[in-house]
Amino acid sequence: MLEASLGDVLRADAGGRTPLVLVACSGGPDSLALAAVAAYFAQTDRCRVGAVVVDHGLQEGSARAAEGAAAAARGLGLDPVEVRRVEVRKDGMGPEASARSARYAALDDVAARLDASAVLLGHTLDDQAEQVLLGLARGSGTRSLAGMPPRRGLYLRPFLDLRRQETEAICAFYGLEPWHDPTNQDPAFARSRVRVEVLPFLEDQLGPGIARALARSAQILGQDADLLERLSAESYRSLRIDGGDGTLLLPEDGLLALPAALRQRVLALAALELGAYQPSFERLRAAESLLDRKGSAGPVQLGGKVSVHRQVRGRAVLQGEASYGNLVLSSNRSNGPGVKQSHRPTQE
């Protein structure tokens, strides 16, 4: 399981050094079990294993819990082991998203400084099922419903096929006493409600295989999302025109020739290149409606202060005749002529 996840990471680099793998360890059952398995694996001398403990400072006693997790990791033989305290900023995101952003920033920093080959995350099949249910509740698209990928860049999730009770059994086998984060039971958080109330209810009503079925759906959708993203990236490269001064142009006829699933992704890629955050489905549909050539020519706000409007190419034509030009995407720093831009922050 772990060996399959690490793959090429286990090979020594060109300098002959044994690769360093870091475990993101909170001290909870999942990450502590992962640290124990990784420590055992390191005894083969095919890799070195260290740990990073992130203290979010969001609750009383968090520093003590972080030091306890670090001590447990050192007791397993992991080296180096670092504790990083982060500041969770209130920047418009929810508390869970803000904490996640701060956590990954810390993990990125430590991994880069220590030249780590991989960072292991202890997410389990139960976490994956919860992620899919949250995505369904939000009305999300394919990528979100695909849940968490087994690998993204340096980050690996070798426990996505394990249930939470199995990680607890691993901790018991090694005589470890994991820390249980009280926020995991706090109904103020949506994920906690899904974990404590929604998923147990579904398993009671639909059968104990619901979590595994949701995780299997995520795996299937992940393959679909990978293909759609590859095709949309190819389409975007073929259509994208640099309009100068930070604007991007997308030919209307080229967009209309695409299936809706690719067309919306191409529009999103253009918005993201200009610095927007991921546009919602409703905003992408509003941008797509500009291609109907009915009503307003825009602008449509795509989020992150990026807008799109329709531009007619060439000379005017008689009313009712076909006319194709470009959709023009721009940010507030590069408004097209005659385009009135709203400076109010967009709400998703």
Q: What's the pLDDT at 1? A: 66
Kindly state the DSSP code that residue 197 receives in the 8-state scheme: I
- Hey, how many other C-beta atoms are within 10 angstroms of the C-beta on 41? 18
Nearest to 56, CA basis, from 111, 103, 107, 120? 103
Residues 35 and 106 occupy one common structural domain: yes
Contacts 24+ apart (CB under 8 A), 315-324: 323/293, 324/251, 324/252, 324/253, 324/256
Q: Is 209 a domain residue?
A: yes
Q: What is the CATH number of the domain that holds 250?
A: 3.30.465
Residues 62 and 182 occupy one common structural domain: yes
Q: Is 346 a domain residue?
A: no
Q: Is 228 a domain residue?
A: no
Residues 263 and 168 occupy one common structural domain: no
Tokens at 46, concatenated:
């095919």
Residues 103 and 143 occupy one common structural domain: yes
- Hey, how many other C-beta atoms are within 10 angstroms of the C-beta on 122? 25
Nearest to 269, CA basis, from 218, 318, 229? 229
Nearest to 87, CA basis, from 98, 76, 75, 96? 98
Alpha helices in the chain (DSSP H): 2-6, 29-42, 62-75, 95-114, 125-138, 142-145, 164-173, 190-193, 199-206, 210-239, 252-256, 260-273, 281-288
Q: Is 343 a domain residue?
A: no
Q: What's the pLDDT at 312? A: 63
∠301-305-309 over CA atoms, to 5°?
40
**On the CB side of 47, how many CA atoms lie within 13 Å of its CA?**
26
Q: What's the pLDDT at 11? A: 58
Q: Is 233 a domain residue?
A: no
Q: What's the pLDDT at 322? A: 41
In this structure, the strands spanning 151-152 and 155-156 are antiparallel
Domain end: 220, 251, 278, which one?
Answer: 220
The answer to whether 70 and 83 have CB atoms below 8 angstroms apart is yes
Question: Domain containing 108: what range?
Answer: 2-220
Residues 306 and 272 occupy one common structural domain: yes
Q: What is the CATH number of the domain that holds 76?
A: 3.40.50.620
Q: What's the pLDDT at 277? A: 82
Q: What's the pLDDT at 35? A: 95
Q: What's the pLDDT at 337? A: 39
Residues 154 and 36 occupy one common structural domain: yes
Point out the residues of the chain with pLDDT beneath 50.
Answer: 14, 315-323, 334-348
Residues 166 and 259 occupy one common structural domain: no
Q: What's the pLDDT at 5? A: 66
Q: Is 298 a domain residue?
A: yes
Q: Is 72 a domain residue?
A: yes
| Total structural domains within the chain | 2
Q: What's the pLDDT at 12? A: 53
CA distance 34 to 169: 12
Q: What's the pLDDT at 339? A: 38
Domain end: 220, 255, 289, which one?
Answer: 220
Tokens at 200, concatenated:
């147990």
